[in-house]
Structure 1
């Protein structure tokens, strides 16, 4: 009951609330992270999930789009002000809930701005916000309640915001609300950040930029930047806010810090969607200190992989092929790069490091073998035969196929092996509109191999032939791309492509097939 007799009508929606869903997940899985970030929410419409979820779209908007003029004003501020002046009827409150549901997803600041200067009674506004957040059955209704709690909430709402924010669909607005309104916003956002691991982690950690809290800064360096999207989104923030330079300055560091530093350096050198090594003036010093500590610690597969990757980077290669920063294009002196490269070479040549990798590669433990692949690749250890042994046991392991296809020096042998292992006749089942996403299937292995065949014109015809008649759109696309690189077609290729074009259900692929046939016939 609010003062002066003002009160909201009782809840009248018998659909499951978003909060009940969050509570059920917490009971099953603890405080988080939760499987799939808490998806699907109970208000998801029947049918297949969208190709790009709202959570992913939020990430794209916040990380890759410049802020515009903001969404146009909506009816919600006026409905809200009226409801706070006069106790709303059930019908009026339903209209308010519908308006909250119709609010643009972002930016949340737009609603805050639209409510400024209205002198709304805080206790009543909080009552409405809690009702929307705690009893809402639609995600945007709940999100609007969370945004309002960022205006008027207090310490009483902290647990509600943390619980709802653990649903990664709502982490963005919950982190903003916790950061905007609370007695210790950094600690609240820090707790939320540890409960999520995808886009939610990215959204939450961005609110921790510049924190002076020693525990949070230490957590950022030891793994707080890690997420299931791309570590590159948070690596620079972790290195600067966490002060990686100072952390690596002592003569000794612990294993967890060294592992975290290695991951940060990998992400910075890879470049990508956020600030990277080109924006990090401490880069040469931090790499130097990392290498010193790496040499003082026992051999470790992950650390060997990091040092090998850093060796390529300082030599002028890109960490991610075809993209990313290059050390030889930065303001690092040639002498500095040569010195760091020499340190990397000395480490990767160490007998104890190479013996450690050799033992892991010949281990009976398949997981240990997989962990050793990266280190072995960086040490230029031949892997073809070992990879084939493991692929005979697990023929559709995508990671092993990537290593074989991208690392082999024997392309003909790799293609013959793929044709032997894959059930090519069973893969030529005829076209469908299946996109072909997801690993662990023979279709995906065929995709991995055929997608590289444009680099080897004229090779791999049995695989291309199967891909042309495969059910997945991606395989058929890759087959056409491979054939387009051929200097001249064979009669078998012309006949197979013509037959494929006649039955192709996807207009775009059908057009590419016919264009290639015209090119061949002219």
Structure 2
């Protein structure tokens, strides 16, 4: 019951609420992170088929890759419905209309619209709590959480942390915590540790620039890690966390060095956010990192990071300081680059480091061998024989095939091995509209090999023939692409393409097949 006798009618349906879903997850798994970020929510569970892209993923993509100009705006009608509910004696029909109209789209815009209306804060908070506690769908709960950002207070912290542990609601909970709590950085930090997917990204981005020592230390050791891409948060962690200062002492703890491993690797990979080319401290950070790496016991992943650094430094363009289109881009002197590259190579040449890699490469544990593959690639250690031996035991392991195909110059040996290990006759089953997504099945291995054959015209006909008649759209596309690189068609190839075109269900592939036949004059 709110002051002055104003209170909302009880919910008029018995569908499971999002809050009950979150409470069940907490009881089963603790405060978070939860399996799959808490997906699917009850309203998704009731649907007969799951969507191709979940709300959580779609929200993450929108927030990270949509410009502000293209971001959705809130309908003024939603703000009007909220105002109508809180300014009058509430009645069930008005609340039902509001719940039906609630949407998570345009959340920032909705908050701005409401802030200019001078609504009664107590009633707005009660409405927010009603939607957050009793909502049965993501959008109405998200709307309630948003409203707590403009009407809530410290009493709502636990509810916001609970609902925010659902990845699909984290973004809204972060904004609400920042708007309602007296210690916003600490509140967001608490939530960030309860999520590890898009929710982690949303939460950590709101910690940019924090001066809290505990949060900065966490960012460097663990806070940037997430199940989407560490690249989203690595630059933020390095800058806000103060990586250069953290590496300045003569000795550091292993968790910090392990965190630096991951941050540097993500910065080197680049991707959707700022990377190492936008990090002016990079040369000095790398210098300190290499010193500490040499003082700690060797670690297999660290060997790979140092090898990756060596390759990056070797290819880094030297330019005058302050030049170029990016004001914060790294300026490397030739002497600095040579010194750091020598330091990397001296570490990776250490007998203890090489012995660690050698043990992993010859391990009987397939997972340990796979961990060693990318490290060996960075140190340019030949692996053809080892990869072939493992493939004879696991012939459909696509990771092993990628490593072999992309790391060898012996294409004829690859084709012989693929023809030996793949059931080519069983793969020529006839076309379907199956896209061919996935891994670790024979058709996926066939895809890996045939997709490289446009660079080797005339080679691999038995594999191309199987791909041409394979069930998956991708294999047939790759077969046509490989044949298009041939200087001329053979009678066998022309006959196979013509036969495939007669039964091809995909119009695009059919057109490419017929264009190929015309190119060959057949």
Normalised to the residue count of structure 1, the TM-score between the two structures is 0.94
What's 2:150 paired with? 151
Q: Does 1:234 align with 2:233?
A: yes
Q: Does 1:115 align with 2:114?
A: yes
Deviation at residue 330 of structure 1 after TM alignment = 5.4
Partners of 2:283 and 2:426 in 1: CA distance: 53
Q: Does 1:500 align with 2:500?
A: yes
Deviations 1:100-156 (CA, angstroms, capped at 9, x unpaired): 1xx3x3331100111022111111111111111111111111111111111111222
Partners of 2:515 and 2:56 in 1: CA distance: 38
What's 2:64 paired with? 63
Q: Does 1:443 align with 2:443?
A: yes
What's 1:54 paired with? 55
Partners of 2:219 and 2:492 in 1: CA distance: 57
Partners of 1:23 and 1:419 in 2: CA distance: 54
Which stretch has the larger CA shift, 431-440 or 118-127?
431-440
Deviations 1:388-437 (CA, angstroms, capped at 9, x unpaired): 22222222222222211111232111121122112222222222222222
What's 2:321 paired with? none
What's 2:76 paired with? 74
Partners of 1:244 and 1:488 in 2: CA distance: 58
Deviations 1:40-96 (CA, angstroms, capped at 9, x unpaired): 222126344333333222222222221017525331211111211222211111011
Alignment of 1:141-220 (within 5 A): 141-220=140-219
Gaps of at least 5 residues in structure 2 are 318-324
What's 1:322 paired with? none
Which stretch has the larger CA shift, 427-436 or 63-72?
63-72
Distance 1:468 1:46, change over 3 A: farther
Deviation at residue 182 of structure 1 after TM alignment = 0.7
What's 2:29 paired with? 29
Confirm or deny: 8 A CA contact 2:174 2:188 kept in the other structure.
yes
Deviation at residue 317 of structure 1 after TM alignment = 6.9
Normalised to the residue count of structure 2, the TM-score between the two structures is 0.94
Gaps of at least 5 residues in structure 1 are 319-324
Partners of 1:433 and 1:187 in 2: CA distance: 51
Q: Does 1:362 align with 2:362?
A: yes
Deviation at residue 280 of structure 1 after TM alignment = 0.7
Confirm or deny: 8 A CA contact 1:73 1:114 kept in the other structure.
no
User: SS state of the match for residue 356, structure 2?
Assistant: helix
Partners of 1:497 and 1:405 in 2: CA distance: 25
Q: Does 1:431 align with 2:456?
A: no
Deviations 1:214-263 (CA, angstroms, capped at 9, x unpaired): 11111111121111221111111000000000011111112211111121
Confirm or deny: 8 A CA contact 1:271 1:277 kept in the other structure.
yes
Partners of 2:283 and 2:164 in 1: CA distance: 38
What's 2:20 paired with? 20
Q: Does 1:92 align with 2:94?
A: yes
Distance 1:460 1:50, change over 3 A: farther
What's 1:83 paired with? 85
User: SS state of the match for residue 126, structure 1?
Assistant: helix
Alignment of 1:440-479 (within 5 A): 440-479=440-479
Partners of 2:107 and 2:297 in 1: CA distance: 49
Partners of 1:498 and 1:260 in 2: CA distance: 56
Confirm or deny: 8 A CA contact 1:266 1:306 kept in the other structure.
yes
What's 1:308 paired with? 307
Deviations 1:169-222 (CA, angstroms, capped at 9, x unpaired): 111111221122212111221122122222111111100101111111111111
Partners of 1:227 and 1:374 in 2: CA distance: 20
What's 1:281 paired with? 280
Partners of 1:317 and 1:459 in 2: CA distance: 36
Deviation at residue 340 of structure 1 after TM alignment = 1.0
What's 2:322 paired with? none
Distance 1:496 1:32, change over 3 A: farther
Confirm or deny: 8 A CA contact 1:450 1:464 kept in the other structure.
yes
Which stretch has the larger CA shift, 218-227 or 394-403?
394-403
Aligned length: 511
Q: Does 1:380 align with 2:377?
A: no
Partners of 1:347 and 1:300 in 2: CA distance: 12
User: SS state of the match for residue 435, structure 2?
Assistant: coil
Partners of 1:217 and 1:106 in 2: CA distance: 32
Confirm or deny: 8 A CA contact 2:497 2:513 kept in the other structure.
yes
What's 1:404 paired with? 404
Which stretch has the larger CA shift, 11-20 or 479-488?
479-488
Partners of 1:338 and 1:502 in 2: CA distance: 60
Confirm or deny: 8 A CA contact 1:304 1:375 kept in the other structure.
yes
Confirm or deny: 8 A CA contact 2:282 2:330 kept in the other structure.
no
